Amino acid sequence: MKLPKMERGKKWSLRSQASFQREATLREQLFRVQRTISHDQRQLEEVRKDLGRRTEAAVLGNSQAAGLITPIQNRIRDVEGHIKAFEAQQDKLQAEISALAKLEPSQAKTRSDGQNALAKLAIERFEVDQKIGSALRSVRALLGERSEMTGRMLALTREIDFTLAFDGLDADRFQALEIHLPADLDAGSEAWVRWLLGERQETERYRVCDEILILPETLASPNVYRRGEEVDLTPEQLREISATLSSDDYPRRPLPKEMQSHSPRVEKCAEAAKQDA
């Protein structure tokens, strides 16, 4: 398996899945802050109107209204201070969100270098996996040869009426080894490497129906999709969405409300299935 062209030329995903999750948390906090600011602004407008009414009444000689002016002014200052504090928090959250969406060149280079190194190691490790697969196939062939010899030995013991003890031909150990010996490891390793690198597989296009859909991250994509966005899914991924993501174990770590989806749904789009180039 050669180093894919994308590893030498194509840029990997600039942002990680964790970055999108952090952004979702910040946006949830921003929404609450903005909602508080809107509430306080409406309250401030009402208090100012009340101050205007009390002031007019005081001018007309209403002493009770005059006595309420100072407390109302104090209330206005309190609400204004509250709004100012939350506006500062709003600016801070917006700045953090912007920083997540736009990496500095040095940050982008560090991430890209790390992604390239990870891709290279994954491919080099696959070459080792191929050697392991080849060695396992050789061991399986030897085990088959040994099993055939054991069968011939058993036939001879019967011919000469030779009494065998339990596992007298020393076959069980190697039969157990053959049973538990994994098969086709290198094929599975190749599929994993191609998945990690985000190489296109046979997929069909779907549209996300829930607030959020999170699939395992690859080097090519953080795989975070929001309602209405389109995603290309393999049959295996589609099964995982139904069997795994909809379980009570998903999500496996705390996420903000907008990123929680215990029954993620997708609908099939009209576009034709995508094939490997």
**Mean pLDDT, residues 49-75:** 91
* pLDDT for position 253: 41
Percent residues over pLDDT 70 in the chain: 86
**Mean pLDDT, residues 169-180:** 91
* 3-class DSSP assignment, residue 253: coil
DSSP state of 274: B
In this prediction, residue 275 has a pLDDT band, given cuts at 50, 70 and 90, of very low
Do both 188 and 245 map to the same domain? no
Do both 97 and 109 map to the same domain? no
- Distance (Å, whole) CA 168 – CA 158: 13
* pLDDT for position 250: 46
Do both 158 and 208 map to the same domain? no
pLDDT at 139 over 70: yes
Q: Which two tokens stand for residue 232?
A: 């290309």
Q: Among 75, 101, 127, identify where a domain stops.
A: 101
- Distance (Å, whole) CA 57 – CA 63: 8
Q: What is the extent of the structural domain holding 208?
A: 198-268
Is residue 149 a part of any domain in this protein? Answer: yes
Do both 224 and 254 map to the same domain? yes
In this prediction, residue 9 has a pLDDT band, given cuts at 50, 70 and 90, of low
Is residue 233 a part of any domain in this protein? Answer: yes
**Mean pLDDT, residues 16-37:** 94
- Distance (Å, whole) CA 208 – CA 240: 15
* pLDDT for position 72: 94
250/54: higher pLDDT: 54
Do both 212 and 172 map to the same domain? no
Is residue 8 a part of any domain in this protein? Answer: no
Burial class (CB in 10 A: 0-12, 13-18, 19+), 246: middle
Q: How many CB atoms lie within 10 A of CB 225?
A: 21
Do both 28 and 91 map to the same domain? yes
Is residue 202 a part of any domain in this protein? Answer: yes
Do both 92 and 109 map to the same domain? no
Do both 250 and 223 map to the same domain? yes
Q: Among 79, 101, 123, identify where a domain stops.
A: 101
Is residue 90 a part of any domain in this protein? Answer: yes
Do both 128 and 168 map to the same domain? yes
In this prediction, residue 122 has a pLDDT band, given cuts at 50, 70 and 90, of very high
Average pLDDT, the chain: 85
In this prediction, residue 17 has a pLDDT band, given cuts at 50, 70 and 90, of very high
pLDDT at 238 over 50: yes
* pLDDT for position 11: 72
Q: Among 101, 117, 143, identify where a domain stops.
A: 101
* DSSP letter for each residue of 154-203: HHHHHHTTPPP-TTTTS-HHHHHHHHHS---HHHHHHHHHHHHTT---SB
pLDDT at 5 over 70: no
Do both 96 and 111 map to the same domain? no
Is residue 9 a part of any domain in this protein? Answer: no
Lowest mean pLDDT among 4-13, 62-71, 109-118: 4-13
Q: How many domains does the chain have?
A: 3
Is residue 12 a part of any domain in this protein? Answer: no
**Mean pLDDT, residues 100-108:** 88
* pLDDT for position 34: 97
Is residue 11 a part of any domain in this protein? Answer: no
Do both 121 and 166 map to the same domain? yes
Do both 111 and 188 map to the same domain? yes
